[in-house]
């Protein structure tokens, strides 16, 4: 049995099928900036009565699957934030869903091709695919390593989660960044994330996994899951601009066990 983070595969599949563009503004979208949005908000799963009312308002079937590919689209974080839980017209929502439906099969086929290659050979399959598509980067290499290591783990509810946070303005104000760091916010965030991962890998011998980051234009945060973390090793952490904003167990942070995030599949 193995555990593979298929959420990352889904994000890349959506990004490619939609032409590497934001679904809402149609501008070019970096994979590192890509978020997967639910057209009908995922939050409604926790509010069944409101969900029922919304589905009726938009004339959608009662069994509408919020997690289906015809309700998921790639977008910029800013477009996702702007959309929020705003109520759009019936015509707009139905148009969005029809567009997503028309691409669902392509996304599923590409996603399955990634899964098949990854299941046959974690590293070689994904590496070949990334090289063929010209998408290889430092973060891609880390993702390959993470996928391989995660396949060897048994995840538990007390898996540790750290949230690293910083204020971007302070980096410039106190001249903390090295010359090679980019100054444009989106690219700087990518650099900071990769720099953090590289430093953690240099001091920690056990597996870890950066699950998500948050960007609001002023601050930047990275949430990292640690498996069997050695506290003595972590004491060697030495990047001065990062603050550990929060530390907790996986289930405490996400409200669900790790198995909800890492799909189990037969090899």
Note whether 231 and 109 are same-domain residues: no
| pLDDT value at residue 178 | 92
Is 216 in the same domain as 133? Answer: no
Check residue 3 and give its pLDDT. Answer: 41
Residue 244 covered by a domain: yes
Structural domains counted in the chain? 2
Residues of the chain with pLDDT under 50: 1-4, 263-267
**In this structure, are 27 and 132 located in the same domain?**
yes
With respect to residue 237, please indicate whether it lies within any of the assigned structural domains. Answer: yes
Q: Does a structural domain hold residue 145?
A: no
Both structure tokens of 26 = 């149609």
pLDDT at 265: 40
- Of the three residues 108, 139, 170, the one that is the final residue of a domain is 139
Residue 118's pLDDT is 62
pLDDT computed for residue 123 by the predictor: 53
pLDDT in tens, 205-251: 887 888 888 998 899 999 998 888 888 999 999 999 999 988 988 88
Report pLDDT for 238. 94
For residues 38 and 130, membership in a common domain is answered with yes
Q: What is the pTM of this model?
A: 0.46
Domain extent, residue 243, equals: 153-260
Residues 39 and 72 in one domain: yes
One-character DSSP codes across 194-218: HHHHHHHHHH--S-EEEEEEEE-SS
Domain presence at residue 147: no
Same domain (yes/no): 55, 108: yes
3-state secondary structure 58-115: CCCCCCCCCCCHHHEEEECHHHHHHHCCCCCCHHHHHHHHHHHHHHHHHHHHHHHHHH
Contact criterion met (CB below 8 Å) for 163 and 16: no
Would you say residue 53 lies in a domain? Answer: yes
- Same domain? For 40 and 164 the reply is no
**Per-residue model confidence (pLDDT) at position 1:** 30
Contact 15, 36 (CB under 8 A): no
CB count within 10 Å of CB 8 equals 15
Helix axes 6-17, 90-120, angle to 10 degrees: 120
Final residue of a domain: which of 89, 112, 139? 139
| Domain boundary residue, one of 113, 139, 165 | 139
């Amino acid at each position: 049995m193995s555990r593979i983070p298929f959420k990352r595969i889904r994000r890349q599949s959506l990004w490619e099928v939609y032409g590497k563009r934001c679904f809402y503004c149609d501008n070019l979208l970096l994979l590192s900036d890509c978020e997967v949005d639910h057209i009908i908000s995922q939050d409604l799963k926790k509010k069944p009565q409101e969900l029922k009312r919304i589905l009726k308002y938009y004339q959608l079937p009662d069994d509408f699957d919020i997690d289906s590919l015809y309700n998921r689209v790639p977008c910029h974080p800013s477009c996702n934030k702007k959309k929020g839980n705003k109520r759009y017209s019936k015509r707009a929502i139905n148009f969005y869903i029809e567009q997503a439906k028309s691409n669902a099969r392509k996304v599923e086929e590409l996603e399955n091709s990634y899964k098949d290659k990854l299941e046959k050979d974690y590293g070689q399959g994904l590496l070949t695919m990334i090289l063929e598509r010209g998408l290889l980067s430092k973060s891609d290499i880390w993702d390959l390593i993470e996928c391989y290591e995660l396949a060897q783990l048994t995840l538990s509810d007390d898996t540790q989660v750290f949230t690293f946070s910083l204020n971007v303005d302070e980096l410039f104000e106190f001249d903390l960044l090295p010359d090679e760091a980019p100054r444009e916010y989106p690219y700087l965030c990518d650099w900071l994330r990769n720099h953090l991962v590289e430093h953690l890998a240099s001091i920690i011998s056990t597996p870890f996994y950066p699950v998500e980051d948050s960007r609001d234009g002023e601050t930047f945060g990275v949430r990292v899951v640690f498996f069997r973390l050695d506290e003595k090793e972590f004491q060697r952490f030495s990047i001065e601009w990062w603050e550990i904003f929060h530390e907790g167990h996986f289930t405490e942070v996400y409200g669900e066990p790790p198995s909800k995030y890492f799909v189990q599949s037969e090899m």
